[in-house]
Amino acid sequence: MEGSEKKIKWQALVFMCFSTLWGFGNVLNGYIYFHGTQVIFSWILMFALYFVPYALMVGELGSTFKHLGGGVTSWIQETTNSKLAYYAGWTYWAVHITYIAGKGSGGLKALSFMIFRDAKAYDSIPTIYVQLATFGVLLLFCYLATRGLGPIKRLATLAGSSMFVLGILFILMMYAAPVINPNGGYLKLNFAWNNLFPKVDLNYLSSLSILVFAVGGIEKISPYVNKIEGDSAKEFPKAMMLATLMVVISAIFGTVAMGLMFDINEINASKEAFDSYAANGAYWAFQKLGRYYGVGDLLLIIYSAANTVGQFSTLLISIDAPLRMLLEDPNASQYIPTRLLKKNERGAYVNGIALVAVLGGAIILAQSFVPGATTVLRQLTRLNGVVMPMRYMWVFVAYFALRYGKEELDRHYRFTKNRGVGLFFGAWCFLVTLACCLLGMYSKDKFEMVLKIITPAVLVALGLILPILRKRENSK
């Protein structure tokens, strides 16, 4: 029996879940891409119909396969077969390519704000030079990834925690600002029905993948399902419900705080204005907040510094960690050509890292001729909104397979005792994710739409080709 010191209270799991899921960028993206306060309705709908069943399914999978450390890949292996486990592992790695392409740009943007304290310096540089610099950053961090990651992982944890705290502080300080500085020049909010209920059109539907991306990734806390004090069948759903409530409150109050600062009509006045807010809005928010409190650009500098460290350290870990999860899993690596399994003396997969540099670099360089560095950041946000949620679909495949053919497996916690209800929610969440990803590929910007179609197509094709190459290699 496990010692009590290894158990965690359900209240601790709530905060672990909240900090894993939520960040300031989610509030900003929701506000900008969903017409200001209209996003409130969409947040509530997304949490109720998607995130809650998603989190509870993860709880059941984690409880069922509590002794396995491979996450989604292991779940697919146990509920289906090794070939599908490879595809799950491949998807988890492949979607990080677009994420990696965005982190370099994000880090340079944060560094520019920290030094110059405005958007002009970064935005005035011709796109081709910005993208070449971003490509150089990618190559540098790919090299660093071959040299060991110990201190960087600790730095990333510290930066991530700082960004989380700053996001919460922003909301609290923004609500206190009108009391402390009544003449700060805040905007008045109109909570009429038409300002809360979104206009459902193609533009709205094509943006939903951004919300799916924002609430996804809860499978990271699956190892803790069986470590909760007391009855996990009662304590885990309680923790998930409270974490969901906290995220909903943060989303709603954060949206209102944004509404006190930024006029959504000004954001939507032109394509250039929208792109500028999408790229710089988070920095402007902390800059305004600092001025409300009479400390000038201090909060902007603190936020930019934390974000610079966070973006670059996350870039380094995203190059290494997903690659290790794919190549070190025996169920996945048996389908991968042995060249990609080559390690150096420090244990880094050098050829795998080179593949990351090629694929990530292709996305970066393809955007060299996009007019404006701010447009590049907006395109990368939309691209990640389409590609990153693809990995969540494997969670629902695993859950559906568990309830369909593995009901006899023992678990301390069940999302629902009714098998039919379980199958319905597994299929429902899979279809919602798939639909949002496909709809998210639409864009009025033709280059952006091509990028969002070609990128996942190339990554899927590569995932299908590698097992063929390995089979030929084995036959020789």
Name the least confident of 63-77, 196-210, 270-284, 346-360: 63-77
Q: What is the mean pLDDT of residues 176-191?
A: 91
Q: What is the mean pLDDT of residues 52-64?
A: 89
For residue 192, list its beta bridge partners.
Answer: none
| Summary mean pLDDT of the chain | 90
Domains of the chain, residue spans: 26-475
Spatial distance between the Cα atoms of 19 and 247, rounded to a whole number of angstroms: 9
Residue 70's pLDDT band, with cuts at 50, 70 and 90, is low
Name the least confident of 87-96, 140-149, 249-258: 140-149
Among the four given CATH numbers 3.40.50.720, 3.40.50.2300, 1.20.1250.20, 1.20.1740.10, the one describing domain 26-475: 1.20.1740.10
pLDDT at 107 over 80: yes
pLDDT at 30 over 90: yes
pLDDT tens for residues 116-157? 999 988 989 999 999 999 999 999 999 988 886 666 667 777
Spatial distance between the Cα atoms of 454 and 432, rounded to a whole number of angstroms: 21
Which residues does 432 contact at the CB level (< 8 Å), separation at least 6?
49, 50, 212
